[in-house]
Structure 1
């Protein structure tokens, strides 16, 4: 009986120890499962956080790109508005140019007859003017007439040529020049040196200095001067040729001005 009780107690003790160990083992297993589940949950949370961070980063990029696009669009709007103003201004300029072209066409039709009249008037003026270098001046006018009839020459070039001819004739009025030409003296053609004093006087003198003459506006002819003029005409020719200084008064056949009618 005693052995049986001892065995029973021992078995009981062993059974109890076994139960305690089993319980311990069972508790340890449950704790490990909890720990494992916690670790798994943490891993899932970390992965979720990474995905959230990625989404936030992608969202920030999208927002930044959106802001950049919006800024670009605003800049394009400003640029397009400026281009539109330029286009409007160019349209206005084009309209002005079209009007100017129409006006030029009208002016061109009007200016051509005017230039022809100007050339004819200049020819009449030279024909009735003091006959200095008359052939040269009439040749220039003949060239002008040919130019007026040339369709290949632009109207602006024709006008420039006419204006230049008028300017040359105007300059003649202030000129003091000499040139050589031939003239009939007492029915004999002789080479003389002419002295042109603007449009005030036109005198000549033979090469030997013995005969001098002047243009008479009243009679429209050259007249031989008295020998008293020879010295003055010779000196005036030297001044015109820059061979002497204009440092004294010279006696020349200049008609007194007439009262305008």
Structure 2
């Protein structure tokens, strides 16, 4: 039997640590790499979760904004529908009045006092304008004054007088179907603080919502007022309605596309 020499044992003992390092070294490196890869995967998953949550938050905010706009639009539409219903009722009444006048005209006997009948029509139109919203009141009353002078001209036939009176009624009827904005001096002023230093009335932008409402806004767009039928006075506009009026004026002047607008009215 052969036994290893001391030299062989010495060389074997010196190579043992190297062998152990070779056996253990790659295993430790593999475990470290696996741990790093696992950590990277976890970080990627966490980043994806954060990004997903941020996307969900943005969608929630956008959904809430669109929902608020939707309900605000529905509220405006409902208010406009109520205003249109009231306006249509008023227009129907005026149309019925004109139709009644046309129906009664053939029944007037030749010897009737037609001049008195026409005079009543002019007086009724004058009273209606004075009780109506004070928009362009001076021009409208001048139209009535021209009709009154027309009745005093004997060379004008009764048919022509009636035609012009009915035309004036038709013009008044059209006011209820349109929205209009125009500039002019403030009339029917109840707030003396709006007067200038020399006592003159300021120039403002008027806005007429058919015959539903009448408002004005100062040319700087910062404040305005609406006409209260009940009190017969101008009432200051609230800031929110003042912004709405500013937008409505631009719509009436075709500076913005048509849209729903709010009209200030007494509740």
* TM-score grouping bracket, smaller chain normalisation: 0.5 to 0.7
Q: Which has the higher contact order (CA 8 A, sep 6+)?
A: 2
Matching residue of 2:140 = 137
Work out the CA distance in 2 between the residues paired with 1:193 and 1:118. Answer: 32
The 5 Å alignment of 1:20-99 reads none
Work out the CA distance in 2 between the residues paired with 1:143 and 1:108. Answer: 26
Q: Aligned pair count?
A: 153
Name the CA shift for 1:105/1:200 in 2 (closer, same or farther; >3 Å): closer
- 1:104 deviates by 10
What's the C-alpha RMSD, in Å, of the aligned pairs?
2.0
Work out the CA distance in 1 between the residues paired with 2:174 and 2:262. Answer: 24
- 1:242 deviates by 1.0
Does residue 227 of structure 1 match 2:249? no
Matching residue of 1:72 = none
Matching residue of 1:159 = 162
Q: Which has the larger radius of gyration?
A: 1
Structure 1 residue runs of 5 or longer lacking an equivalent are 1-102, 257-261
The 5 Å alignment of 1:108-257 reads 109-183=112-186, 184=189, 185=191, 186-188=193-195, 189-247=201-259, 249-256=260-267
Q: TM-score, normalised by structure 2?
A: 0.54
- 1:225 deviates by 1.1
Q: TM-score, normalised by structure 1?
A: 0.55
- 1:106 deviates by 4.2
Work out the CA distance in 1 between the residues paired with 2:217 and 2:173. Answer: 26
- 1:177 deviates by 0.6
Instruction: State the SS of the aligned residue for 2:135.
Output: coil
- 1:214 deviates by 0.4
Work out the CA distance in 1 between the residues paired with 2:237 and 2:108. Answer: 56
Residues 147-176 of structure 1, C-alpha deviation per residue, up to 9 Å, x if partnerless? 001111111110111000000011111120
Name the CA shift for 1:251/1:137 in 2 (closer, same or farther; >3 Å): same
Instruction: State the SS of the aligned residue for 1:251.
Output: coil
Partners of 2:217 and 2:225 within 8 A in 1: yes
